[in-house]
Amino acid sequence: MEKVRVGIAGITGRMGSTLVRVALEAPGIALGAASSHSQDELVVGRDAGLFSGGEESGVAISGSLEYCYEDFDVAIDFTCPEYTVELARFCTEKDKGLVIGTTAHDEDQLKAIAEAAQKIPVVIAPNMSVGVNLMLNLVTEASKALGDETDTDVVELHHRKKHDAPSGTALALGKAVAKGRNQQFPDCASFEALSTGNEREAEKVQFHIMRMANIVGEHRVVFAWSNEQLELVHRAGSREIFASGAMRAAAWVAGRSPGLYSMQDVLAVLD
């Protein structure tokens, strides 16, 4: 079986370098291209594997994936929302698959990604770990069983340099709660911190956001009612779990029909 060649954008970032190292070891995956937008002469041209702290790859870092589109089948993006849109349009022009792990896209950006998915296969997910995607289904089932009279909180912790808050995963967990309750997410989500004299609103999903040190990622969903409490927790020990999921998504999406897919599709998790 031929390996799926991946092109990784933004390898100077935390996730970018992790993606390169994992790609070099992932079964069925070959590192075809890697890019850095820094245009730094100390970065561009260097071996992507060695630069990322892994083995020599034989792949030179490019200033853009556009310069080496013939070297990859699927692009992987964990950069920023603005670049995701550019990459989606480029992949559409060159008929490449696309895996998106970037979060915090606005409505217009999501619309542009959806338009690209009409012509190419796209996997987009706020979190690509197997555990989180199983947790999403567990949260929906628990919420369905407990109903909206149960107090439900979503708690998320990340490193202090993470830009978006709440995280894409936290929002996905909140939407899973709303799905189980058969509610509209905007109607039941509360992002304002409680303070003296500010009572908790009934039926609201309360979000709590923490940014601390170098925490990779932790998400909790807490259900409390009567004299009982149920807590579902996922802790990320390293960024490799997200990178491994991205490689799994890349191998899955290569050669697929155009469409907008999720990690639930990749992992064939029962809805």
The string of DSSP letters for 33-76 reads EEE-TT--TTTTTSBHHHHTTS---S-BEES-GGGGGGG-SEEE
The reply to whether 158 belongs to the active site is yes
Q: What is the distance between the alpha carbons of residues 133 and 146, in angstroms, rounded to a whole number?
A: 20
pLDDT tens sequence across 12-56: 988 999 999 999 999 999 999 999 977 677 899 999 999 999 999
pLDDT in tens, 210-255: 999 999 999 999 999 999 999 999 999 999 999 999 999 999 999 9
- Record the pTM: 0.91
Query: Average pLDDT for residues 155-176, to the nearest whole number?
Result: 96
Q: Which residues in the chain are classed under CATH 3.30.360.10?
A: 130-236
Percent of all residues in the chain with a pLDDT value above 90, rounded to a whole number: 91
SS3 for 138? helix
Portions of the chain given CATH number 3.40.50.720: 4-124+239-267
Instruction: Give the E-state strand segments of the chain in sequence order.
Output: 4-8, 29-35, 61-62, 74-77, 97-100, 121-124, 151-158, 189-190, 205-211, 217-225, 228-236, 259-261
Catalytic one of 94, 111, 119, 162: 162
Residue 208 annotated in active site = no
From 111, 119, 144, 158, the catalytic residue: 158
What tens digit of pLDDT does each residue of 71-101 get? 999 999 999 999 999 999 999 999 999 999 9
Q: Tell me if the domain spanning 130-236 has CATH number 3.30.360.10.
A: yes
CATH 3.30.70.20 fits 4-124+239-267, yes or no: no
Q: What is the pLDDT of residue 271?
A: 43
pLDDT at 202 over 90: no
Higher local confidence (pLDDT), 202 or 167: 167
